[in-house]
């Protein structure tokens, strides 16, 4: 990491009233500059509780989506827009609609570590 980068990041966090959340799978250099680290559920709870205007989410796409859903009036940034989760990508909204069409009487329970589009097609989410 460039020597002055941590200070530049701290200055930006202060001037933009931002918080950095980092998943515990992130490398140590990222965790070191984060305000909070944890698993996806813990970080979602922290995102919901923060009064920061900007949330920088160092994690995968669905985590930033969840933070944005919980904070519709805040800016949520995902430094790596290509940061995906193979587990979350195992099901699509079309898959959920197909199951619902085949079994309309059954509630569809989706794991919280899924995309917002999949959650939107589900009856309920669980952790």
What is the mean pLDDT for each group of 10 consecutive residues in the chain (127 residues)?
85 96 95 95 91 96 91 94 87 96 96 92 93
CATH of the domain at 93: 3.40.50.10800
**Number of domains the chain contains:** 2
Q: What is the value of pTM for the model shown? A: 0.85
Looking at residue 82, what is its pLDDT? 87
64 and 94 co-located in one domain: no
Looking at residue 60, what is its pLDDT? 92
- Domain region containing 67: 5-77
Cβ neighbours of residue 115 under 8 Å, at least 6 residues apart?
A: 61, 62, 65, 88, 89, 93
Cβ neighbours of residue 8 under 8 Å, at least 6 residues apart?
A: none
Looking at residue 73, what is its pLDDT? 94
Which residue is listed with tokens 């904070």? 71
């Amino acid at each position: 990491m460039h020597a002055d980068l941590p200070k530049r990041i701290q200055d930006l966090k202060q001037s933009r009233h931002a918080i950095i959340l980092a998943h515990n799978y992130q490398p140590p250099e990222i965790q070191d500059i984060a305000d909070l680290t944890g698993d996806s559920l813990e970080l979602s709870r922290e995102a919901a509780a923060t009064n920061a205007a900007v949330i920088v989410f160092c994690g995968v796409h669905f985590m930033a989506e969840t933070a944005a859903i919980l904070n519709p009036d805040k800016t949520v940034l995902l430094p790596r827009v290509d940061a995906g989760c193979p587990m979350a990508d195992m099901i699509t909204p079309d898959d959920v609609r197909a199951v619902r069409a085949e079994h309309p009487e059954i509630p569809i329970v989706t794991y919280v570590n899924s995309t917002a589009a999949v959650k939107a097609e589900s009856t309920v989410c669980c952790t």
